[in-house]
Chain A
Amino acid sequence: MEWGEIVSYAWWTFAFRWLHVIFGIMWIGHLWYFNFTQTPTMPKIPQELRPGVARYILPEALWWFRWGAMLTIISGLILAAFEKKLVGVITIGLNTSPHIASNASLGIGMWLGAIMWFNVWFIIWPGQKKNLGLVQCTPEEKARATRIAGLASRVNTLLSIPMLYGMTSVHFY
């Protein structure tokens, strides 16, 4: 097999699907870690040990979480462009007649992913910056920002279930 055949258009399409899955696991893995493991466990951790989570684990996890989200959406858009599906998925399959079910499924999944990405970068991360003390604020503002960030994280956990249906059902439709 020639090198040119290996690194072909089809290979690049596959490579971006592979990267999209890697970055997606990085993102959703951390989202589920926060919601399924860290948040429910925090009340059970002795008070004197809790700063260890807040000062060392949470900032590191949030870094991988938000950049995982960024690289997931970038690699997903590049993948859709490589597959010549970008317009089809953005319009959730309504740009053609008859409408294409796989574009509807993937498109709804993509829009849910886009909402989740927005939540990460514009609600959760700004809220966590106040929670971690990276941004100066009053105790009331900190409590409110932490609560909103927590709810946005729960919304993302909720949306991750239909989002993953949209992403993985494309070969079914």
Chain B
Amino acid sequence: MKNPLDSLTQTVVLGFVLTVIMVLVIHAIAA
């Protein structure tokens, strides 16, 4: 399996996915 970090597009997509997870964590902390 290719490393997704070798693809700039996949790196950026993963960045946005991680942002969604981060938003969920922030809401969980603040709840």
Contacts and interface: CB of A to CB of B under 8 A. Distances in A.
Q: Interface size for chain B: under 10, 10 to 19, 20 to 34, or 35 or more residues?
A: 10 to 19
Contacts of A104: 25-26, 29-30
Contacts, number: 60
B9 to A, nearest CB: 11
Contacts of B8: 35-36, 39-40, 154, 157
A1 B25 CA distance: 44
Interface stretch (A8-16, A18-26, A45-53, A92-100): A92-100
A158 B26 contact: no
A160 interface: yes
At the interface, is chain B mostly helix, strand, loop or mixed?
helix
Interface SS of A by simple majority:
helix
A99 B15 contact: no
A162 interface: yes
Interface string B1-31: 0010110100110111011001101110110
Nearest to A154: B5
A159 B29 contact: no
A149 to B, nearest CB: 12
A165 B29 contact: no
B29 A94 contact: yes
Interface residues of A, number: 26
Given A108-B22, A151-B5, A155-B5, A162 B15 contact: yes
Contacts of B25: 104, 108
Interface string A133-162: 000000000000000000100110111111
Interface of B: 3, 5-6, 8, 11-12, 14-16, 18-19, 22-23, 25-27, 29-30
